[in-house]
Amino acid sequence: MMHLNRQGCSELWLDAPTVLVRAGYGLRREGEQDLPFLRTLYASTRAEEMRASGWTKKQQEVFLAEQFRLQDAHYRREFPDTVRQIVVKDAQPVGRLYLRRVNLPLPARPEIRVNDIALLPVARSQGIGSALMKAVLEIAAAEGLIVSLTVYEDNRALNLYHRLGFHGVTRENGRLLMRWRPQAG
């Protein structure tokens, strides 16, 4: 669902899809209290890479803490209008969803950008990401908006994005910019 902020501009506050609510999931606004969870979540997205690194546990922790700090600072600096939501299961955080509305130069229409979607390993492969992305696509379809995201080419979620109808646009440094367009008519 779209909500209006205080300035009257539309923000993309997504309501948890019914299928997730029935399973005990929800979405809430991210807050400062979420930083420890977000560090853990970030580290979980790099776990496979860390196992292959040959680094000690301490080296991995230092590296991941710094990388999280840099990513978080980058997101806040470059995308201050991002709506940052936490995915919860029975009130416990299990993921994050970062969305923003991008107003492109005319004649292009605004688009929805999925800046990030990530789930803890215990919440992966259960249809949660799929349900969240389908909810984003429903909003986009209702407004006739494109949805875009960037994904690493070796990310398992790439298969999900293809199934949902996303198409690759450009490749750069192992990352693929993908777009979804609503059906005409």
Helix or strand or coil: residue 94?
Answer: strand
Q: Which two tokens stand for residue 73?
A: 């600072």
Helix or strand or coil: residue 27?
Answer: strand
pLDDT confidence of residue 6: 35
The tens-digit pLDDT sequence of the chain (185 residues) is 444 333 334 466 788 889 999 999 999 999 999 999 999 999 999 999 999 999 999 999 999 999 999 999 999 999 998 999 999 999 999 999 999 988 777 766 788 999 999 999 999 999 999 999 999 999 999 988 999 999 999 888 999 999 999 998 899 888 999 999 998 75
pLDDT confidence of residue 162: 96
Cβ atoms 111, 145 nearer than 8 A: yes
pLDDT confidence of residue 7: 36
SS3 of the chain: helix, strand, coil, percent, to 5: 40, 30, 30
pLDDT confidence of residue 2: 46
Rounded-to-integer distance, Cα 91 and Cα 100, Å = 24
pLDDT confidence of residue 185: 58
pLDDT confidence of residue 3: 44
Rounded-to-integer distance, Cα 170 and Cα 175, Å = 8
Q: Which two tokens stand for residue 5?
A: 């902020």
The three-point CA angle 60-65-69 to 5° equals 150
Would you tell me the crossing angle of helices 35-45 and 57-78 to the nearest 10 degrees?
Answer: 110
Rounded-to-integer distance, Cα 9 and Cα 5, Å = 6
pLDDT confidence of residue 12: 65
pLDDT confidence of residue 100: 92
